[in-house]
């Protein structure tokens, strides 16, 4: 069995700098209790916002201060749990933090209904009189855009209180798959047992050259999900039911429209992506066949998608990966690059260790006033380097937004989130494909691009988006969503996507939906595909030497939510309201496939 250390034995150098947020867990508890104590105090402004601009400003300041503190408390608990899901203290912290956030949401829920009741005309007059209030113009504009879907103060308060119980299905699934699941060990071609964990499955095991090990790990991993398929299906169905409930309460015609409306994104953006994806499936079919031949397989299966063509994987230390990434991002300027290097090597932004109980996957998470932290399991391979570049894109998006925007615009929508992350990867490949001469490294780099990044974002995610749309529509029609229905739907969609030459293990491939916690974030998965499209379009502008392209991109990172997502991207040079960038990105992927075919002969 491989030796994966417990959390307490990992090198602190490669853990997140939690001490910079709260020195001790006791300090976190004190901060939590202070938020709970102060939450009811903002209610003193309820019913008084229309009395004067000074009272409105005071209310906005009080609410923002409270929410900012709540975000920091919540983030700390979530991050501490993610790096070690076996820690019961951390799990308890998450529960407390979620309950706290629900109370904050309920306490501040009067704000939007009361602003709408005051009316646009009064706010416009006050904004002309007060430069501090004028900062909120876009926020107010967006609120009145949503006016038809904002309910009374009483209903909004109830909806705020529902945030905590509605998160139960997601929390239950996370605890089940990350903390409780114990996978049967896989066996390699020699019959040796190899441990299967959330931390090593998606990287080390699925990327191992030993096909017997990959298949054994794939079966172990998905068989555990099949064993609990009814619980997993019930949890996801509950989450979808909550989405449909919110859709109806807020008077939308569909859950898709309800979700996209928040970011002022038309439904056509979703449908354009899906239609372009379906039309471009032959590109994927060509790649699957090239990979099958390169691997010398009679048939290729799901668990072969990450199998290495290279005979020996390049090994890259964490520090060397930071060097490569910084070199690639040099066109963005010295300040950007120095910030990345400082964050990775000195300020401990990155929790890069592999340890028992660590959540699968990777993410960037922080709050205004903290570092933009990254959780991942760095394994020293090209894929890990690419993941680091990806998460640093998120982190720098947060860092520059927090640095340049007031709290009202200190976040950015999920619709643009995956642009910054994939941009970094596109820049890294553009640089390394030109500067690295080692054939083995180049093959590994292109494989990571297509089998890793593109397969996930441009194949799995659109397929999951189709699954998500269909399951929501069934729920909207009042049709039951059980485990078998979900399993069959997922198997059907992947069968269509893979084409006739990929062999499908229907029961196990049909459970892929249960391995993506992203589905608990309503209509998030399709935004990975639009994100990678916008990213490559923007990176291409810089790589091709378009004048001011780097400044345009930095402007996008600094904008936060100060304008609608589509508008911010348009200013940076890409229009995601049309299929053009999706088609352009498929062309880029075809270029990678051409290079791969040439390299492997």
Longest alpha-carbon distance in the chain:
78
**Beta-carbon count within 10 A of 534 CB:** 31
What lies within 8 Å, CB to CB, of 107 at 6+ separation is 39, 40, 42, 43, 66, 160
Handedness of CA 447, 453, 456, 461 (dihedral sign): negative
Listed residue (304, 310, 313, 309) closest to 218, CA to CA: 304
403 three-state secondary structure? helix
Place of tokens 């372009």: 276
Q: What is d(CA 540, CA 580) in angstroms, rounded to the nearest whole number?
A: 14
User: How many Cβ atoms are within 10 Å of 28's Cβ, its own excluded?
Assistant: 21
Cα separation, 237 vs 244, in Å, equals 10
Q: Check if the beta carbon of residue 465 is closer than 8 Å to that of residue 526.
A: yes
Choosing from 80, 219, 381, 391, which is the catalytic residue? 391
Sequence-distant (≥ 6) Cβ neighbours of residue 470 within 8 angstroms? 489
* Residues in contact with 114: Cβ distance below 8 Å, sequence separation at least 6, in sequence order: 46, 47, 49, 50, 153
If you ran DSSP here, which 8-state letter would residue 16 be given?
-
Contact (Cβ atoms closer than 8 angstroms) between residue 213 and residue 189: yes
| Distance from the first to the final alpha carbon of the chain | 37
Residue 263 CB partners (closer than 8 Å, separation 6+) = 413, 414, 415, 564, 565
Torsions phi, psi of 369, nearest 5? 100, -10
Burial tier of 346 (Cβ tally within 10 Å: 0-12, 13-18, 19+)? exposed
Q: How far is CA 203 from CA 208, 359, 376, 452, 503, in A?
A: 8, 13, 11, 10, 22
80 is catalytic: no
Instruction: Please report, for residues 294, 300, 304, 357, 587, the alpha-carbon distance to residue 291 in angstroms, rounded to integers and kept in the order given.
Output: 5, 8, 9, 33, 18
Q: Are 595 and 445 in contact (CB under 8 A)?
A: no
Q: Are 212 and 188 in contact (CB under 8 A)?
A: yes
Partnered with residue 503 across adjacent β-strands are: 301
Q: 1: buried, middle or exposed (CB in 10 Å: 19+, 13-18, 0-12)? A: exposed
Annotated catalytic residues are 391
């Amino acid at each position: 069995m491989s030796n994966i250390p417990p959390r307490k034995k990992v090198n602190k150098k490669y853990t997140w700098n939690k001490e910079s947020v709260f020195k001790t867990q006791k300090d976190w508890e004190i901060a939590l209790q202070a938020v709970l104590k102060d939450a009811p105090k903002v209610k003193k402004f309820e019913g008084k916002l229309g009395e004067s601009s000074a009272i409105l400003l005071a209310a906005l300041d009080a609410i923002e201060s409270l929410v900012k503190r709540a975000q920091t408390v919540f983030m700390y608990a979530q991050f501490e749990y993610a790096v070690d899901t076996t820690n019961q203290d951390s799990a308890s912290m998450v529960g407390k933090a979620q309950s706290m956030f629900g109370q904050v949401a309920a306490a501040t829920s009067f704000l939007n209904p009361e602003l709408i009741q005051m009316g646009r005309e009064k706010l416009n007059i006050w904004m002309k009189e007060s430069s501090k209030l004028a900062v909120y113009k876009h926020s107010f504009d967006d609120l009145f855009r949503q006016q038809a879907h904002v309910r009374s103060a009483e209903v909004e308060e109830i909806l705020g209180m529902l945030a905590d119980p509605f998160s139960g299905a997601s929390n239950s699934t996370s605890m089940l798959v990350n903390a409780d699941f114990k996978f049967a060990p896989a066996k390699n071609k020699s019959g040796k047992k190899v441990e299967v964990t959330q931390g090593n499955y998606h990287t080390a095991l699925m990327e191992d050259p030993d096909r017997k090990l990959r298949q054994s790990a794939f079966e172990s991993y998905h068989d555990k999900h099949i064993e609990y398929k009814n619980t997993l299906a019930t949890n996801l169905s509950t989450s979808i039911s909550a989405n449909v409930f919110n859709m109806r309460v807020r008077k939308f015609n569909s859950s898709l429209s309800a979700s996209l409306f928040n970011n002022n994104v038309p439904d056509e953006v979703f449908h354009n992506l899906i239609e372009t994806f379906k039309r471009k499936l032959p590109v994927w079919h060509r790649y699957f066949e090239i990979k099958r031949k390169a691997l010398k397989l009679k048939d290729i299966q799901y668990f072969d998608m990450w199998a290495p063509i290279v005979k020996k994987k390049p090994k890259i230390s964490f520090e060397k990966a930071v060097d490569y990434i910084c070199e690639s991002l040099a066109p963005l300027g010295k300040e950007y690059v120095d910030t990345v290097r400082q964050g990775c090597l000195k300020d401990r932004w990155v929790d890069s260790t592999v340890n028992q109980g660590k959540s699968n996957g990777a993410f960037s998470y922080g709050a205004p006033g903290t570092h933009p932290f990254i959780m991942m399991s760095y394994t020293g391979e090209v894929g890990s380097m690419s993941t680091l570049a990806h998460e640093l894109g998120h982190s720098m998006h947060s860092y520059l937004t927090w640095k340049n925007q007031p709290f009202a615009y200190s976040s950015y929508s999920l619709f643009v989130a995956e642009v910054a992350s994939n941009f970094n990867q596109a820049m890294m490949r553009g640089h390394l494909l030109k500067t690295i001469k080692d054939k083995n490294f180049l093959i590994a780099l292109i494989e990571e691009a297509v089998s890793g990044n593109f397969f996930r974002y441009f194949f799995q995610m659109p397929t999951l988006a189709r699954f998500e749309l269909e399951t929501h529509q069934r729920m909207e029609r009042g049709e039951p969503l059980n485990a078998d229905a979900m399993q069959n739907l997922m198997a059907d969609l992947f069968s269509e996507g893979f084409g006739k030459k990929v062999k499908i293990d229907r029961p196990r491939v049909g459970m892929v939906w249960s391995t993506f916690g992203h589905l608990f974030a309503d209509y998030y998965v399709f935004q990975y595909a639009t994100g990678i499209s916008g990213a490559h379009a923007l990176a291409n502008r810089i790589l091709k030497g378009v004048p001011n392209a780097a400044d345009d991109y930095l402007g996008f990172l600094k904008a936060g939510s100060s304008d609608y997502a589509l508008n911010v991207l348009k200013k940076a040079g890409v229009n995601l309201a049309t299929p053009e960038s999706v088609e352009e990105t498929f062309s880029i992927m075809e270029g990678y496939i051409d290079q791969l075919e040439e390299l492997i002969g």
